[in-house]
Amino acid sequence: MEWTGARYADKPTVEVRTWIGAAPERVWKLVSDVELMPSLSDELQSVEWLDGAERPAVGVRFVGRSRHEALGEWATTSTVIECAPERQFAWVVGDPDHPTAMWRFRLEPRADGTELTEWMQMGPARSGLSVAIDRMPGKERKIVFVRMREFERNMTVTLERIKKLAES
């Protein structure tokens, strides 16, 4: 994928997909288990449900703690905005009405398995990346490009790990 020329305000997106030799029910159990996600990601360190929630449902919240070599450590609160078992699971980071990012898993039954897609959108609200852009506004497009490539690589690894778990 190419993001040449994208600015943060453009709300750039990235999407990766894979076919998994397992039923959507099995894949759903993995993608909707937010507490499992840190074991599938190199950046996300921990996740916990908030407000007494124990499982995904529209409106429930969770906090995620992340670490990145260049960006440091941070915590964000996310709100589930879509929860359709065996079909779609999505959440927004930060203010649900003006999020810093949106993430989505989409599951589609395909030939004795499931096509799993992970999608994310950066912005529109300011995020930790905005600080780097503020420091080097002339390099905004390069900063966004590099971060989108990181997301693409990390999401590809996450899907590979989900595939391995689902097929085992």
- What separation in angstroms does the CA of 87 have from each of 61, 99, 137? 20, 23, 40
Report the C-alpha gap between 80 and 96 in whole angstroms: 9
Whether this model's pTM surpasses 0.85: yes
Determine the pLDDT at residue 29.
96
The three-state secondary structure class of 4 is coil
Report the C-alpha gap between 88 and 157 in whole angstroms: 20
For residues 112-127, give the mean pLDDT: 94
- Residue 59's identity, in one-letter code, is G
Does residue 27 have a pLDDT over 80?
Answer: yes
Annotation: CATH topology of 18-167: Alpha-D-Glucose-1,6-Bisphosphate; Chain A, domain 4 (3.30.530)
Determine the pLDDT at residue 6.
86
Report the C-alpha gap between 77 and 125 in whole angstroms: 14
Report the C-alpha gap between 153 and 6 in whole angstroms: 18
Please indicate whether residue 15 or residue 2 has the higher confidence score (pLDDT).
Answer: 15
Determine the pLDDT at residue 4.
61
**Which sign, positive or negative, has the C-alpha torsion 160, 162, 165, 168?**
negative
CA angle at residue 130 from 125 to 135, to 5 degrees? Answer: 155
Determine the pLDDT at residue 35.
93
